[in-house]
Structure 1
Amino acid sequence: MSTVSISTATQRTSLALPILVGGGVAGLLDMTSAYITFGRYMPIGIAGGIVGAAGRHVSVGLYILGLTIHYFIAFSAAAVYCLASKKLKFLRDNFIVCGLFYGIAVFLVMQLVVLPLSAYHAMGPYQYRGLVQGLLAHMFLIGLPISISLRTLSD
Structure 2
Amino acid sequence: MNAQTVSVQRPPGGWSRVALAILVGGLIAGTLDIGAAALINLASPRLILRFIAGGVQGGAALQGGTASEWLGLVLQWAMSLLIAAAFVLPALRLRWMTSRWVAAGLAYGVVVFAVMNYVVVPLSAWHRVNHFTPGSFAMNLAAMLVFGLIVAFAARKFVGAARG
Give TM-score, length-normalised by structure 2.
0.84
> RMSD of the alignment, in Å?
2.0
Work out which of the residue numbers 48, 52, 60 in structure 1 matches 2:58: 52
Q: Does 1:14 align with 2:17?
A: yes
Q: Does 1:72 align with 2:75?
A: no
* Larger relative helix fraction: 1
Work out the CA distance in 2 between the residues paired with 1:89 and 1:8.
Answer: 12
Q: Does 1:120 align with 2:123?
A: no
Q: 1:112 Cα deviation (Å)?
A: 1.0
Pairing 1:95-110 to 2, within 5 Å after superposition: 95-110=101-116
Percent identical pairs in the alignment equals 30
Counterpart of 2:95 in structure 1 is 89
Q: Does 1:25 align with 2:28?
A: yes
Report the CA distance shift for 1:10/1:135 in structure 2 as closer, same or farther (over 3 A).
same
Q: 1:57 Cα deviation (Å)?
A: 0.5
Q: Does 1:146 align with 2:151?
A: yes
Higher alpha-carbon deviation: 122-131 or 144-153: 122-131
Deviations 1:72-107 (A, max 9, x none): 111111111000112211101100010011011101
Higher alpha-carbon deviation: 43-52 or 123-132: 123-132
Q: Which amino acid aligns with 1:90?
A: W
SS at match of 2:128: coil
Counting matched residue pairs gives 151
Q: Which amino acid aligns with 1:93?
A: S
Report the CA distance shift for 1:148/1:61 in structure 2 as closer, same or farther (over 3 A).
same
Q: 1:126 Cα deviation (Å)?
A: 2.4
Q: 1:6 Cα deviation (Å)?
A: 8.4
Q: Which amino acid aligns with 2:158?
A: L
Whether the 8 Å contact between 2:21 and 2:154 is mirrored in structure 1 is yes
Higher alpha-carbon deviation: 110-119 or 121-130: 121-130
Q: Does 1:37 align with 2:43?
A: no
Unaligned runs of 5+ in 1: none
Report the CA distance shift for 1:32/1:125 in structure 2 as closer, same or farther (over 3 A).
closer
Give TM-score, length-normalised by structure 1.
0.89
Q: 1:5 Cα deviation (Å)?
A: 7.7
Work out the CA distance in 2 between the residues paired with 1:80 and 1:7.
Answer: 18
Work out the CA distance in 2 between the residues paired with 1:31 and 1:9.
Answer: 33
Q: Which amino acid aligns with 2:132?
A: Y
Higher alpha-carbon deviation: 124-133 or 71-80: 124-133
